[in-house]
Amino acid sequence: MGFFDKLKGKKEELEKQKKEAEEAQPEGKYNNPCSLCGGVGTEKKWMGQYWHHKCLRQTRKSSRKMM
């Protein structure tokens, strides 16, 4: 096995880990997509839309700055 094959093998392992992480979406209260990021597994319903806690905090902070 050559030097470049070792690098290529590690890259493939990282891609497998990323795919596994994407498939294992965090389970939330609702199965609807988030209004900001589009990911599933939302925890909060606010203003008729479903949000992750992280996305909701981000949106509220940015809207306060607009006022």
Residue with tokens 């996305």: 55
Angle at 36 between CA 41 and CA 65, to 5 degrees: 130
Q: Which tens digit of pLDDT belongs to each residue from 25-50?
A: 567 888 899 999 988 889 999 889 99
Task: Identify the pLDDT of residue 61.
Answer: 92
Which residues face 42 on adjacent strands? Answer: 30
Q: Which tens digit of pLDDT belongs to each residue from 2-26?
A: 566 666 666 667 677 777 766 655 6
Q: Give which of 53, 26, 54 is closest to 40, Cα–Cα.
A: 26
